[in-house]
Amino acid sequence: MADIRDALDDELVTFIEDQKLFFVATAPRRGRINLSPKGMDTFRVLDNRTVAYLDLTGSGNETAAHIADAGRMTMMFCSFDKKPNIVRLYGQGDVVRPQDARFEELNAHFDDLPGQRQIVVLMIHSVQSSCGYAVPFFSYEGERKTLRKWAEKKGDEGLAKYRENKNRSSIDGHPVELPQSEGAE
């Protein structure tokens, strides 16, 4: 049976921090639901009601567009090894960009990665854990280096141009505020 609570406890924090993969789901008021897998050690628990992840430049920017439109966000962690478990975090998302006052404080929790675009924060309203008995076993072999190499090759200027061309709106046309590059006016 599922267990629902208001906040994370130490056991759930340990479980979440042990996972190499997590999923982020958002939806605008009108339009498609987005579900994205995340990895590369970009997730952090800030306290028992607040978590964040370092968002890297990608082919879209659905999460930021949906948060601006509706704010709702769910994160899911599931065990592919050891004890079966699924943990979902439900709450209100917030996107913190490099030009925002809170960015430096939040960014201190993460390692610098090429292509970092913004930090997505989730203020947790509820936490659900469930059995995970149907989740199959998979083994972790390591992180892919593809995104890192792609971002390094593009460089800061190339990434800014890419975001301008590919990350300005969601696939349903919802606008997205882009991060400002260093030195941008």
- Bridge partners (DSSP) listed for residue 72: 92
Q: Considering the domain boundaries, does residue 137 fall inside one?
A: no
pLDDT at 185: 38
Specify if 183 maps to a domain. Answer: no
| pLDDT at position 43 | 98
Do the domain assignments include residue 105?
A: yes
CA distance 45 to 32: 28
Mean pLDDT of the chain: 95
Over residues 83-111, mean pLDDT: 97
Confidence of residue 1 (pLDDT cuts 50, 70, 90): low
For the chain, the domain total comes to 1
User: Residue 62 belongs to a domain with what CATH number?
Assistant: 2.30.110.10
Cα–Cα distance between 166 and 65 in angstroms, integer?
13
Structural domain boundaries enclosing 66: 3-132+143-166
- pTM attached to this predicted model: 0.94
CB within 8 A of 96, min separation 6: which ones? 102, 103, 106, 118, 119, 120, 121
pLDDT at 184 over 60: no
Position 128 in a domain: yes
In a domain, residue 171? The reply is no
174 lies in some domain: no
Q: Dihedrals φ, ψ of 122, to 5°?
A: -120, 120
Round to whole Å and give the CA distance between 42 and 53. 5
Contact yes or no for 47/39 (Cβ under 8 A): no
In a domain, 175, yes or no: no
Calculate what percentage of the chain has a pLDDT beyond 90: 94
Q: Region 8-37: what's the mean pLDDT?
A: 97
Phi (first) and psi of residue 43, to 5 degrees:
-105, 140
Q: Where are the alpha helices (DSSP H) in 76-171?
A: 103-107, 146-166
Statement: residue 161 has pLDDT above 80:
yes
Domain-located, residue 103: yes
Q: pLDDT category, 179, cuts 50, 70, 90?
A: confident
Dihedral, CA atoms, 54, 60, 63, 64, nearest 10 degrees? 80
